Amino acid sequence: MIIQKFGGIAMQSKASRKHCLLHIKRALREHGKTVVVVSAMGRDGDAYATDTLLDITDALSTSPKAKDLVAACGELISAAVLSSELKQDGIDNLLLYGAPLGIITTNNFGDAEIIDIHKETLLSALEHHDCLVIPGFQGITEEGYIATLGRGGSDLTAAVLGATLPNATIEYYKDVPGVMTGDPNYEDDVELIRAIPYSKFLSLLNNVHPLIQKKAAEMAQQHQLKLHIRNIFNLESGTFVFPDAD
């Protein structure tokens, strides 16, 4: 089983989503059961990016519950669009979100903690569908309200699913080749690191724009999950993150 997490750049346009479809098709061929987690489309300024949605009105600051409902819409739109494009391309899938998905959180809106996940629901869905499409970044409180998981929360969604489902590998798709020796946007002569232990990988996430959310990486390390950081726009092998030797 494999979990694929596609970020905002991957989801940004129909052209970029074609690359998502290619990776999903490959995953279905090679791994069978495939769970796809998506972020909102694009980055701040793009129509359906989370920050753009939250800029609709400053009145949202007066209601954390309402603000989370708006914030969650970006991932819901992404999931619905990708699920539809997969079906259009002949790939059966199940769009799973909200209460039926069963990711239960605290009611700390804006930075909720996951307290439970309905594993049986996921396993039952995978019995009937080879591909699930899931919006990241969000769960449902015990009272039934949408709550979001903090910035980078879609990465955490993928890690939680990896910790819940049996024998899962997680692929995080980025707009860089993988883990690099430096930031290619600001530094010259950076190189790809093809394999890295969790201890070193986590140390690279202590910055304003980490490659993946550090909380997600820590959960993956705790459960000794196999992580694969890859470029959305090609089939290069990227970087493998592996558990440290005891």
pLDDT, tens digit, 9 for 90 and up, residues 40-75: 999 999 999 999 999 999 999 999 999 999 999 999
How far apart, in Å, do the first and last CA atoms of the chain sit?
26
Cα(151)–Cα(167) distance, integer angstroms? 27
Domain ranges of the chain: 2-176+198-227
Q: What topology is assigned to 2-176+198-227 in CATH?
A: Carbamate kinase (3.40.1160)
pLDDT, tens digit, 9 for 90 and up, residues 74-128: 999 999 999 999 999 999 999 999 999 999 999 999 999 999 999 999 999 999 9
pLDDT, tens digit, 9 for 90 and up, residues 188-234: 889 999 999 999 999 999 988 899 999 999 999 999 999 999 999 99
Beta strand pairing status for 2-6 and 34-38?
parallel
State pTM to two decimals.
0.96
Residue 185 has pLDDT above 80, yes or no: no
Q: Three-class SS of residue 85?
A: helix
The tokens describing 194, both together, are 């093809």
Measured from the Cβ of residue 168, the count of other Cβ atoms closer than 10 Å reads 20
